[in-house]
Amino acid sequence: MPRRPRLAAGDLAYHVLNRRVGRLPLFEKPADYVAFEQVLAEAHAQTGIRLAAYCLMPNHWHLLLWPKQDGELSEVLRWITVTHTQRWHAHHHTAGTGPVYQGRFKSFPVQTDEHFLTVARYVERNARRAKLVSRAEDWQWSSGWRRTQGDPKLTTWLSPWPMARPRDWEARVNRAETASELEALRLSVQRGRPFGAEAWVRRMATRCGMESTMRPRGRPRGS
């Protein structure tokens, strides 16, 4: 079947993720993480893409982006994915052996209110949730770590948020999500559904050509 076109409108926030093919390791040593962060820094330098939050995990990554222009998200993510794939193969001497990523990146619009904070928290909490660190900000390959180091040079390619970051942000990130929060977030990821209040989600699904993500899964019941 043909791919559903990405109608990535500008001035919306997006939760974006991609995973190594076959769930194999994508980052195996510090230099691998640094190389991907360099790609992110270059993407920001070239395009000015607003990167609100990110977390790199051993076999996948999460970004929270806030593009300004229509189509900017797709163009920037295409550049990031292609550039990283080329450099990954060159470093590992695996050119011609197949894809690095399991497929195209996934992206979901996020409402820029408390739902944005929920997604930012989910993104920055990834390593803590996976028990890779005792506190989320201790995971070096994340925006949470960069913002807590007190070095402006580490945050030059991280953007402001569409709302003020709460003063108790680190405490919030380290507090476990509720079951309902995780269920809603994972439904967004699994179905490719916008994340926000119900009326906003339905409006965005129509605007972005994502109506299929609102339908129940499985075959319709017979009459």
Tell whether 120 is covered by a domain: yes
Strands 60-65, 13-19: parallel, antiparallel or unpaired by DSSP? antiparallel
**pLDDT score of 3 more than 60:** no
Tell whether 2 is covered by a domain: no
Sign of CA dihedral 180, 184, 187, 189: negative
Any idea what the CATH number is for the domain that residue 161 is in? 3.30.70.1290
pTM confidence score: 0.91
Which phi and psi angles does 197 have, rounded to 5°?
-65, 155
Q: What is the pLDDT of residues 37-70, one digit of tens each?
A: 999 999 999 999 999 999 999 999 999 999 999 9
Determine the pLDDT at residue 11: 85
Determine the pLDDT at residue 192: 85
Residue keyed to tokens 């093919």:
21
Sorting pLDDT into bands at 50, 70 and 90, what band is 96? confident
Q: Which domain holds residue 40?
A: 13-214
> How many domains is the chain partitioned into structurally?
1
